[in-house]
Amino acid sequence: MKATYSQHVLDFKQASGTSRGILKQKETWFIKLETHEKWGIGECGMLRGLSCDDRPDYEEKLQWICDHIGLGFDALYAELNEFPSIQMGLETAFISLASDDPFCLFPSKFTNSKDTLPINGLIWMGDHAFMLSQLEQKLASGFNCIKMKVGAIDFDQELALLKTIRQRFSKDEIVLRVDANGAFSAEEAPSKLAALAAFDIHSIEQPLMPEQWESMAALCKNTPLPIALDEELIGVFGSSQKQELLDIIKPQYIILKPSFIGGFRGSQEWIKLANERQIGWWVTSALESNIGLNAITQWTYTLNPKGPQGLGTGSLYTNNIDSPLVVEKGYIGYDDTKKWNTIQ
């Protein structure tokens, strides 16, 4: 078996704002496996400034994996604890290689174009007019679950935008999720959550920066709206540490980003622990290209998840890889009449 890796730089159609800054480009890496008869591909979706494996030796590790591919998946996965995005890319590549079609990793009604998954429509941060224009576009496209980034512009403007939505649509018509990306302090979070709760918010993602377990636990215990942990899961290795985190914080939800938490294998462990504790969850992509998004979406479908998932990021780039993935009226589907155009 031969293994190689390559880098691909994705260009955003428009600069996308988060509480951590403005994103104009996104680096990603592909691992390709080849035998005489078949090939497989996986994406290592590391995100600068957020992934725990954003390290100077990242490409060195990729090369090491390619040089030692003969060790097999299990042995290599165990060597990659501190590189969850490479775990994800490698796991996907092995599944792809073993499949009859390298892009049909989890055959199902989804890949047969007979079923779809509901997703949320993402509104990026910006000034009030920019966010409102995005909102109008998502509503016109048929989304009934909207996820809005909060915490970067004036909080009163963000509340005004939420008020605009609720004046037009009830919670039964439009589900509202907000994502703070850790933008609130422990002191201000209770009052800000109370203000948000007035607009029938489904949940808030990561109101505090990670690694403030006691503060987050207190917030989750007394919150007026459900809290979902996102960045909090990044860099948490080992089953005992994962259990400790969930047992101390006791969140209402966790959000699974396979590229950040060790691929499907790592995500399954979080799901098992969450289910044992009656903690809800959903799956979100992490700005991968369509290679990674395809794998994550197909895998997510097999879980029979509840509610909209966060899998609508494939249209963000000018130079994404053409794929059969389609988003229509708030659902992601797979049009098997469309062809892939990928790195060969």
Same domain, 276 and 194: yes
Same domain, 69 and 166: no
Question: What does the pLDDT read at residue 344?
Answer: 46
Same domain, 59 and 193: no
Domain stop point among 49, 67, 98: 98
Same domain, 136 and 39: no
Residue pair 204/226 in contact by the 8 Å Cβ criterion: yes
Does position 249 have pLDDT exceeding 60, yes or no? yes
Domain presence at residue 204: yes
Same domain, 246 and 122: yes
Mean pLDDT of 243-249: 98
Per-residue pLDDT band for 343 (boundaries 50, 70, 90) equals low
Q: Note if 149 is an active site residue.
A: yes
Tell me the residue range of the domain where 28 lies.
Answer: 2-98
pLDDT tens per residue, range 19-75: 556 778 999 999 999 999 999 999 999 998 889 999 999 999 999 999 999 999 999
Residue pair 296/311 in contact by the 8 Å Cβ criterion: yes
DSSP class of residue 278 equals T
Q: Considering only CA atoms, which of 193, 191, 202, 194 is closest in space to residue 165?
A: 202
Per the structure, how many domains does the chain have?
A: 2
List the CATH number of the domain containing 71.
3.30.390.10
Cα 64 to Cα 171: distance, rounded to the nearest angstrom: 50
Q: Note if 257 is an active site residue.
A: yes
Q: What percentage of residues in the chain have a pLDDT greater than 90?
A: 81
Cα 293 to Cα 325: distance, rounded to the nearest angstrom: 9
Domain presence at residue 20: yes
Same domain, 121 and 78: no
Same domain, 148 and 55: no
- Please pick, among 61, 147, 192, 257, the residue that the annotation labels catalytic: 257
- Please pick, among 26, 138, 149, 192, the residue that the annotation labels catalytic: 149
Does position 229 have pLDDT exceeding 80, yes or no? yes
Mean pLDDT of 8-25: 78
List the CATH number of the domain containing 287.
3.20.20.120
Same domain, 122 and 92: no
Domain presence at residue 110: no
Same domain, 177 and 216: yes
Mean pLDDT of 105-131: 91
Per-residue pLDDT band for 297 (boundaries 50, 70, 90) equals very high
Question: What does the pLDDT read at residue 194?
Answer: 97
How crowded is the C-beta side of 29, counted as CA atoms within 13 Å? 26
Question: What does the pLDDT read at residue 154?
Answer: 84
Lowest mean pLDDT among 231-245, 299-313, 329-343: 329-343
The phi, psi pair for 110, rounded to 5°, reads -65, -50
Question: What does the pLDDT read at residue 131?
Answer: 81
Q: What percentage of residues in the chain have a pLDDT greater than 70?
A: 97
Same domain, 201 and 304: yes
Same domain, 134 and 80: no
